[in-house]
Amino acid sequence: MEDKIYAYSTSPHVKTPRTTKKIMLLVCLSLLPTTITGIAFFGLKALLILLLSCASAVLSEMIFNLIAKKDITLILKEFDFSSLVTGILLGLALGVNYPWYAPVIGSAFAIIVVKMLFGGTGKNLVNPAVTGRIFIFMSFQAAVTAWIIPNGDLTTSATMLEDFLGGNLPTLSNVDLLLGRNVAGCIGETCKVALIAGGLFLAATGVINICYPALYIGVAGLFSVVLYGFDFAYFLPSILSGGLMFGAIFMVTDYTTTPNTATGNVIYFVFLGLLTAGLRKATGMESVSFAILLGNLIVPLIDKFVINRPFGHSRTRKEKAAKNA
């Protein structure tokens, strides 16, 4: 350790100022409009839930590191905001009628079980925020059935999406859905304008490729149209309601849980779109998070079978003949 003359590492040897920390900060920034509109719509309870889930996520990461006997200065130096992103995403994916300890437990579960036990940032098998949300969803079933409409007096109702999956066309106009006016749902998923703004910001800074979320949303919408008997009146409501846009822009685009190749990505996002629309139709409830969890699990499989052809490599005649036969 004392004579450290050469720093050696594996390729690529390109240096870039873009680090995990900076990317995560950009993601946090892009979530800002959604957070603000969420708090504006749902009030102080939304702020409380967000603060609790963020604090729990960051603290549980630090506590895990302390238990794993990492040095405290190293922990602070290596803190890369990814747990903060998980915390915000999880908080935004919850409704305001959850008890206060739900985001705390969900964030701790997401960080410790889903992320840290698998080796920390970049090594998790599935998206922590999505898994945390499903954990909370399954744990507080009483809170899930009632959603709050943010219009002066807070009344509870089934979400727009649940209504519409039953076969009724929505009572709210598409503009209302886009702006999130009087829409019941999770804190972060109602105002689509803020979500799209965040997505465009991420695309402009090069953090995500906007084509993939667009592909996911498009396929999900079109498949809903097919499932409801080619009625194109269903296209816009199905992509504008529920958590589809939120999940597509912020949750599936997580680097760790997307395939490595362009072909793999196309397969992955088309699969997710079909799965989301199919599950929505089959279960009659919002199933974006379940679709994402299932999709995450097949990512290693896609990466195993979709491999980029090395430059200059061509298949030998024997293999070709074997394939044709």
- Residues near other proteins (CB under 8 A) are 101, 105, 117, 135, 138-141
CA atoms of 70 and 64, how far apart (whole Å): 9
Q: Of 131 and 258, which has the nearer Cβ to other proteins?
A: 131
Closest CB 321 distance from other proteins, rounded Å: 45
Closest CB 292 distance from other proteins, rounded Å: 16
Q: Of 27 and 291, which has the nearer Cβ to other proteins?
A: 291
Q: Positive or negative, the Cα torsion across 238, 240, 243, 249?
A: positive
Rounded to the nearest 10 degrees, how much is the dihedral formed by the CA atoms of 11, 17, 18, 21?
110
DSSP-assigned letter for residue 168: P
Q: Of 141 and 324, which has the nearer Cβ to other proteins?
A: 141
Q: Of 126 and 222, which has the nearer Cβ to other proteins?
A: 126
148 beta partners: 156
Closest CB 141 distance from other proteins, rounded Å: 5
Q: Of 127 and 238, which has the nearer Cβ to other proteins?
A: 127
Distances 260 to 211, 272, 290, 304, 318 between C-alpha atoms, Å: 15, 16, 22, 10, 29
CB 62 within 8 A of CB 72: no
CA atoms of 286 and 293, how far apart (whole Å): 13
What does the buried/exposed string (b/e) look like for 74-97 if buried means 16 or more CB atoms within 10 Å of the residue's CB? ebeeebbbbbbbbbbbbbbbbbbb
Closest CB 255 distance from other proteins, rounded Å: 25
Q: Of 234 and 290, which has the nearer Cβ to other proteins?
A: 290
Q: Of 14 and 138, which has the nearer Cβ to other proteins?
A: 138
Transcribe 241-283 into DSSP letters. Answer: STTHHHIIIIITT-GGGS-SSHHHHHHHHHHHHHHHHHHHHHH
Closest CB 139 distance from other proteins, rounded Å: 4
Closest CB 113 distance from other proteins, rounded Å: 8
Residue with tokens 């873009």: 18
Closest CB 52 distance from other proteins, rounded Å: 16
CA atoms of 53 and 88, how far apart (whole Å): 7
